[in-house]
């Protein structure tokens, strides 16, 4: 016998909507400030201890670096620093520190005004004797190895203000670095420099544009604590004359072929 099944209508259960309050305007603001602060702090730490970009404003390192080159500086080349420890005094190192090598291109705080950043090449290490005779640089009584080369290609890229000088271009071996220096044959101002012994924990630096560089020959040596890091590469190159500046007569220069150039 088949059993009869009855069906009953099931009434839907009404569920009361529960309103979950969202974050207040103040909470949103605090969250955004925290996120923004974290981003800024991360960028500052990155620039303080890892890598920092700089722009070349002058011609003292021509032909290695041209006016308008944007370079990347390795801040831990000589050891890892405590973040921001070099803002108000010499940096505190967590590792090392290691001595810069002869031939390194370094960015440092200008000894006469530490608010300014300079870039030059390390020529003399602590204890070295430095002397310049007829524009030939001697380190520990031995001339730095040089060989004259053709500079036509260099002149094509050079900033306009320097093209009228009587430059002689020299392939130069400074430590392990092979680079090009230039001297102005019509300028005898820096032709000679008396023999000098580099003090302890200091470095004698020079520009590759020998006769157009204010460097250790003029204002003395660079203490190790002033060195920010080693210049390693060019990541952009754009020279834009500013109205009213001494560069106003120069042309706009974008040099994409220099992007990615390793600095030696």
Residue partners of 58: CB distance under 8 A and separation at least 6: 67
Active site residue 142: no
CA dihedral 221, 61, 247, 258 (to 10 degrees): -150
> What order of strands is seen across the sheet that includes strand 193-197?
142-143, 136-139, 129-133, 193-197
Smallest CA-to-CA distance from 78 within 93, 105, 53, 97 is with 97
Q: Which residues contact 67 (CB under 8 A, 6 or more apart)?
A: 56, 57, 58, 59, 159, 239, 247
Contact 131, 204 (CB under 8 A): no
For the beta carbon of residue 229, count every other beta carbon within 10 angstroms.
23
Please identify which of the residues 81, 109, 120, 135 carries the catalytic annotation.
120
Residue 60 known to be catalytic: yes
Q: What distance in Å separates the CA atoms of residue 123 and residue 77, rounded to the nearest whole number?
A: 17
Phi first, then psi: give them for residue 69, nearest 5 degrees: -70, 135
Catalytic residues: 60, 120
């Amino acid at each position: 016998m088949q059993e009869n099944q009855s069906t009953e209508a099931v009434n839907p259960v009404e569920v009361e909507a529960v309103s979950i309050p969202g974050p207040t305007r103040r909470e949103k603001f605090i969250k955004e400030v925290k996120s923004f602060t974290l981003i800024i702090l991360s960028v500052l730490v990155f620039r303080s201890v890892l890598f920092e970009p700089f722009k070349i404003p002058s011609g003292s390192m021509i032909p290695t670096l041209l006016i308008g080159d944007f370079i990347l500086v390795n801040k831990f080349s000589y050891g890892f620093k405590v973040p921001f420890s070099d803002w108000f005094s010499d940096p505190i190192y967590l590792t090392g520190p290691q001595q810069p090598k002869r031939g390194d291109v370094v960015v440092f705080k200008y000894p006469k005004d530490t608010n300014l950043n300079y870039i030059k090449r390390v020529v003399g290490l602590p204890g070295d004797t430095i002397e310049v005779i007829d524009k030939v640089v001697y380190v520990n009584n031995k001339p730095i190895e040089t060989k004259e080369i053709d500079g036509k290609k260099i002149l094509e890229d050079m900033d306009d203000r320097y093209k009228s000088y009587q430059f002689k271009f020299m392939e130069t071996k400074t430590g392990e670095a092979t680079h090009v220096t230039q001297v102005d044959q019509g300028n005898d101002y820096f032709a000679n420099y008396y023999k000098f012994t580099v003090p302890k924990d200091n470095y004698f630096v020079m520009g590759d544009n020998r006769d157009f560089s204010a460097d250790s020959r003029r204002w003395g040596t660079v203490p190790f604590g002033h060195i920010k890091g080693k210049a390693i590469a060019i990541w952009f190159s754009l020279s834009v004359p500013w109205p009213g500046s001494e560069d106003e007569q120069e042309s706009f220069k974008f040099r994409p072929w220099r992007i990615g150039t390793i600095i030696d």
